[in-house]
Structure formats: C-alpha cells, structure tokens
Amino acid sequence: MPVFTPQELRDNPDLSPQLSAYGVMNLERGQTIRPHFHDCDEWWIITDGHALVTSEGVEYEITEGHCVYTPMGEEHGLIEIYRDLRGVWFEGVLQGKKRRGHLHHPEDD
C-alpha cells in the first residue's frame, strides 16, 4: 500500500519497514514539550515558526527549514516557542524495548 495514515501504520507496522510513527506538528506560542526520549530515532522537519529546543543536552534555536535529529534513547524537548511552530515529525523503527510514545526516566518525575 503506497499511501497510509498514521493510525494504519501504528496498527500494521509492516506497512513501512523504516518508520514506526509520523505526524504533523502544529504548536502555538507558549506551548512546551517536556524532555523525553524514544526507543527509536526521531526527526522534526520545521516548515514555519521559531522555537528553542533541546536535544542531547544542547539547546538550539530552530526556524523554517531546520531538521532536528535525535538518536534513540537521547532526551529532547521543546523549551519555548517564539512564533507558532509548524512541521512534520518521523520516528524510525522501534528498537530495544520497542516502547511507543514519549518515555521519561524515573528521576524526571
């Protein structure tokens, strides 16, 4: 099947041997994303906006055209949105414990 939805991919991971999840990012000024990690690599491709993010312990200002790449197991998050942020995100193949979603270390709670 050459075209599928995020839910179809989630329900049938064999649809794409390269992705475990993807989606559209529409975040407004003032929103944040708590630092977290994944059991896969993740990419954010920014199409509009301006924000401050952290990945692997380093802070970056991102704007249109930037790609944020975070390897499996490394923490990343969104510290501050200066201008509404738009883009897409992709998660690679699940590895290790193969847990889905945002994961947090016990000491982060």
53 occurs within a structural domain: yes
In a domain, 15, yes or no: no
Classify residue 40: in a domain, yes or no.
yes
pLDDT at 56 over 70: yes
Does residue 109 form part of some domain? no
Q: Which domain holds residue 76?
A: 23-104
pLDDT higher than 80, residue 2:
no
CATH of the domain at 85: 2.60.120.10
Which residues partner with 11 through β-bridges? none
Average pLDDT, the chain: 92
2 in any annotated domain: no
DSSP one-letter code for 40: S
Per the structure, the count of domains in the chain is 1
Global pTM reads 0.87
- Residue 109 pLDDT grade (very low, low, confident, very high; cuts 50, 70, 90): low
Among the ranges given (12-16, 21-25, 81-85, 96-100), the one the predictor scored with the smallest mean pLDDT: 12-16
- Look at residue 90 and tell me if it is in a domain: yes
- Asked whether residue 5 is assigned to any structural domain, the reply reads no
Report d(CA 35, CA 74) in Å as an integer: 10
